[in-house]
Structure formats: C-alpha cells, structure tokens
Amino acid sequence: MLPFAEKNVLLGICGSIAAYKACELASRLREQGARVDCALTASARHLVQPAALEALTGTPVITDMFPLVTCPEQGHIAVAQRAHLCLVAPATANILAKAACGIADDWLSTTLLATRAPILYAPAMNTNMYTHPATQANIEILRKRGAAFIGPASGRLACGTEGLGRLADIPDILDAAFCAVHQDKDFSGKRVLITSGPNHEPIDPVRFIGNRSSGKMGRALALEALCRGAEVGMITGPAQVNPPSGVKTTQVNTADEMYDAVLSCMNEYDIIIGAAAVADFKIERPETGKIKRGEDRIVLHLKPNRDIIAAVAGAKRPGQRVVGFAAETDDLLLRAEHKLRQKRLDMIIANRVGGEACAIGADHADAYVLIPGQDPEKLEYATKSHLARTIFDRLLALD
Ligand code: CTP
C-alpha cells in the first residue's frame, strides 16, 4: 500500500516562479499512490503548461472556472468534496490573502472555500512579501482556522536575493502532506526513539567497514510516529535519507557511539525501535595513519560490538515497549523468533536480505510481524510506510 493510496489530492498551483517545481511534486504524489487534480491559477498558466501536468498525473488540469457543463467532475464543488487534501504549492501572497478574506474570484480560491478537507500551504515568494505584516497576518488567520504550512525555506530566490521565501523542498512537502491526510493522533503524548541507518566502523582515518542500509525504514517509522502525534527522537548512522523535520536527531557513526547515545536517553522514551543495521563487528585497533598500499596481504582483526536493542530491552522499565528488526538470509521465521525471545523484545519485524528480494535499501519488501504469543503476520510486498503504519497499529493493540 502506497503512502497516498486511495487519497485524492487537489494540487493548487499559483503564479510564483517555483511553479515549475509543482510538476515534480505532482509526479511524486502520483507515484506514491494519490489521484492528483491540478489547478493552475491564471498567473501560474504563464509559468507551467497544463499538458506537462496532465501527462504526469493522468488527469485533466483545471484552468478555468467554467468547464462545468462539459466536465462536471472538474467543477469546484465536485473536486472540493472528493479531496482528502488541498495542497497549495507554491502558495503566493495573493492566494493567502484571498483565502484569509474568503474571496472566491477564481477556481482555486472558490474551491478552498468549498472544501472541508485539510488545507496545506507551501508558500514561495520574495522575502519582503513573505515577511510583510499583511502576509504574516493572513498566515496567522489561516493557521487559526486549522490550515497547515510547510516552509518557506531560505536560500537563493528567483529575484536574485538570498533569504526566506524559497518553496520548501519536495520531500518536506510530501512529508507534510502525508501528515495532513493521516490525522489520527493516537500516539500523542507518547515519545518514540528510533535507531536508523548503517554504522561506519573505522579501519583508518579514511576507510571504514559499512553496510547497505539506506535508513529509509527508520525514516518511515519516524514520519509515521510524528504524524500520529508522537514526539520522536532518532539516533542515526550515516544514512542516505534525511530524517523528517521535527525529529530530534543525533548523528553517530560507530555502533559504540549509537549504543552510548541510545542508552543515555532511553529512559525518556515510551517506545524504542531498533531499525538500524548495527555493525556487528568493529576493527580491534583502527590505524591512526592511512594504511599504505604495497603490503602483500593485510589482516584486519575484528571484535564484536555490543547489542544495542538487547541492552535496551534488558534495562527497560515497566510499560516501555521495545521493537527490533531481524535481517535474515535463511530460516527467516525461525531465526526471527529466536531473536525475539533472546533479545526479549515486544515485537520483531522479519525481513529477508540478500538475493533479489533484499529488504535493505529497497522501497518494498515482504515482511513478517512477530509478537510473542501471536501467529506471525505476513505483509506482502509492503512499502516501508505501510510497514511503519502496521507496526504502530500493532503497538497500539499491545496496550
Ligand atoms: N541490533 C542491535 N545491536 C547490534 C546488532 C543488532 O541493536 N549490535 C538490533 C538491530 O537494530 C535489529 C536487531 O538487533 O533490531 C536484529 O539485528 P540483526 O542484524 O537481524 O541481527 P543480529 O542481532 O546482528 O544477529 P545476526 O547478525 O547474527 O543475525
């Protein structure tokens, strides 16, 4: 199940130069399962061609208030009613002002009044326009009415200046959109700690032993927990993906650093999830100088690292929940069940690694959820976001 499966998203695109980025946004929303209706304002039509958006979304683009006779399903009331989310990206000072005042003089502003779906604005404009008291007052009014905002970010602006006003990065807009459509706050008041990514164990100052973990699973868990109202901490090795914004993140390299970071803060959390691909071994004595070529044969002496999640489960207080993952090349269920018992976890997620169905670094994987005393639950070809959702659903059922 994709993150936006069965969700209708209205993407309202206004006349900021960042409008070209809306094509990427529409494409990513579609890729993640949404049905996307794009609406271009009159100014945006100067910047983006409807044909590009139509090709990316497979849906006719709305550019006019009055195609109602020929295309009633594109009418503002029909779209307003079927939308699970109205995402205005880029949102200009003009649309914010119109929405704050309830002005309905074109298709998008009319639809923003007609909808009862959550509304998310991603502003993009010149810094002075954004910081102008009128724009700030309009944002305040919209926030008070329940609208959400993502960005703007700081950086180089199309007008040649540097400052606040860039459209937020697309991954951040997608995260905010995901949170806006998944609104059950069933983990509010809970604190969740997640370990994520690989470890790098130094061999010498320039080389390390690592593994193929991308950090995507840890990121999906963090986003799911955030969206469900939890406070989220993340202790991550050098991953390929950034943690979602809003997560209290500690960056580490080695398994020892991860161990110390986790053990020193575990008492502050209600749920601890070990999604990191922790390095099982470290170099006994990393070289202080770069190892030179020219030797015939180099022998590296390894020694085992401590087991972080087992230490956490061994030291947990009553009521704390500890979840682990099991990465197995063979005897998947047998080994996962063994780790569940041996590490004294409340839940373990078994993934196959190696070969074609490898879960490491992939976006989809088969997985089993194992809980003591319950039959294993198989999730076939699950996305990491679907797996994250299932883990939190099952955690809820444990209480
Ligand atoms: N784990 C950990 N600390 C370690 C090793 C693993 O916290 N030093 C955690 C992982 O984050 C995961 C679980 O333990 O939640 C299982 O990890 P996995 O790599 O499947 O198993 P290992 O315990 O490392 O055992 P093996 O490599 O022999 O399969």
Tell whether 205 is covered by a domain: yes
pLDDT digits (tens, 9 = 90+) for 119-167: 999 999 999 999 999 999 999 999 999 999 999 999 888 878 888 999 9
Q: Which of 138, 173, 193 is nearest to 4 (CA)?
A: 173
Structure tokens at 212: 């193929």
211, 253, 267, 305: the active-site residue: 211
pLDDT digits (tens, 9 = 90+) for 218-241: 999 999 999 999 999 999 999 999
pLDDT digits (tens, 9 = 90+) for 187-229: 999 999 999 999 999 999 999 999 999 999 999 999 999 999 9
381 within 8 A of 214, measured Cβ to Cβ: no
* Counted domains in the chain: 2
Tell whether 2 is covered by a domain: no
What residues contact residue 233 under an 8 Å CB cut-off, 6+ apart? 191, 192, 193, 194, 247, 248, 249, 250, 265, 268, 269
- Is 357 a residue whose pLDDT tops 80? no
Q: Which of 52, 70, 68 is nearest to 11 (CA)?
A: 52
Structure tokens at 324: 């682990």
Q: Please tell me whether the overall predicted TM-score, pTM, comes out greater than 0.75 for this model.
A: yes
- What is the Å distance from ligand 1's center to 240 Cα? 20
What pLDDT does residue 66 have? 62
Lowest pLDDT segment from 53-67, 234-248, 366-380: 53-67
Phi, psi of 57 (to 5 degrees): -105, -20
- What is the Å distance from ligand 1's center to 275 Cα? 9
Tell whether 32 is covered by a domain: yes
**277 and 176 within one domain:** no
Query: Which of the four pLDDT bands, split at 50, 70 and 90, describes residue 68?
Result: low
**270 and 228 within one domain:** yes
**306 and 170 within one domain:** no
Q: What is the DSSP letter of 159?
A: T
What integer is the mean pLDDT of 31-42? 96
**285 and 164 within one domain:** no
What pLDDT does residue 57 have? 95
154 or 75, higher pLDDT: 154
Q: Which domain holds residue 377?
A: 191-398
- Is 45 a residue whose pLDDT tops 90? yes
- Pairing, β 191-196 against β 271-274: parallel
Q: Which of 214, 218, 197, 200 is nearest to 305 (CA)?
A: 200
What pLDDT does residue 79 have? 87
Q: How many Cα neighbours within 13 Å face the side chain of 214?
A: 13
Structure tokens at 285: 């004595």
67 or 108, higher pLDDT: 108
Active site residue 211: yes
Cα 372 from Cα 348, distance rounded (Å): 9
**201 and 177 within one domain:** no
Cα 69 from Cα 58, distance rounded (Å): 21
Tell whether 1 is covered by a domain: no
336 within 8 A of 329, measured Cβ to Cβ: no
Question: CATH no. for residue 271?
Answer: 3.40.50.10300
Question: CATH no. for residue 75?
Answer: 3.40.50.1950
Q: Which of 256, 305, 307 should be mutated for ligand 1, with most atoms under 8 A from CB?
A: 307
pLDDT digits (tens, 9 = 90+) for 280-339: 999 999 999 999 887 778 899 999 999 999 999 999 999 999 999 999 999 999 999 999
Pocket of ligand 1 (CB under 6 A): 195, 255, 274, 276, 278, 280, 305, 307-309, 324-327, 339
Query: Which of the four pLDDT bands, split at 50, 70 and 90, describes residue 184?
Result: confident
Please identify, among 134, 153, 181, the residue that sits at the C-terminal boundary of a domain.
181
Phi, psi of 281 (to 5 degrees): -130, 150
